[in-house]
Amino acid sequence: MPKQYPLEFKTQVVQSCKMGLSILDASEKYQVAKSTLYRWMQEIHLTEDESTAVDYPAFQRQNARLGHLLQIIRLSNLIDEAPLRKRLEILTRLHEQFAQYSVHELCEALNVS
C-alpha cells in the first residue's frame, strides 16, 4: 500500500518547487518519488483553479463594495479639505509604517500630485 502524506506536507513540498527548488532536489530532500511530486503539483494546481473559480463571485462582490466605499470617501471631500502639508505628513508617516504601499499609491489615495 502506498505511503499516505498529509495535505500540509504535500502543499509545503509543492510550494518549495514553485519557489525554485527543482523536482530532483525536492525528491531527494523530502524522500518522495519524482512521479509523486509531479502528481502532487498537478493535483494542487487543479485545486487552486477550482477554488479561484468558486471564489470569483465573492471577489466581484468585495470589489464592488470596496469601490463603493472609495467612492463615498471621495464624494465626502474629506481628503481634499485637509491642507496639502497635512496630507504630506500623513503620506510620510504611512510610507514609513507600511512598506507594502508605494509612494505612488499613497499619493493617489491622498490626492497629492
In the chain, where are the structural domains located?
Answer: 1-76, 77-113
Residue 71 grid coordinates: 467612492
Are 61 and 55 spatial neighbours (Cβ–Cβ below 8 Å)?
A: no
- 1-76: CATH topology is Arc Repressor Mutant, subunit A (1.10.10)
Residue 36 grid coordinates: 509523486
Read off the pLDDT of each residue in 23-32 and give the average, rounded to a whole number: 92
Which of 18, 16, 11, 39 has its CA nearest to residue 28? 16
Read off the pLDDT of each residue in 14-34 and give the average, rounded to a whole number: 91
Tell me how crowded residue 17 is: count the other CB atoms within 10 A of its CB: 19
Q: Alpha-carbon distance 51 to 92, whole Å?
A: 38
pLDDT at residue 24, rounded to an integer: 92
Tens digits of per-residue pLDDT, 32-58?
999 999 999 898 876 666 666 667 888
Read off the pLDDT of each residue in 82-92 and give the average, rounded to a whole number: 94
Residue 51 grid coordinates: 477554488
Tens digits of per-residue pLDDT, 60-83?
999 999 999 999 998 999 999 999
DSSP-derived letter for residue 112 is -
Read off the pLDDT of each residue in 94-103 and give the average, rounded to a whole number: 90
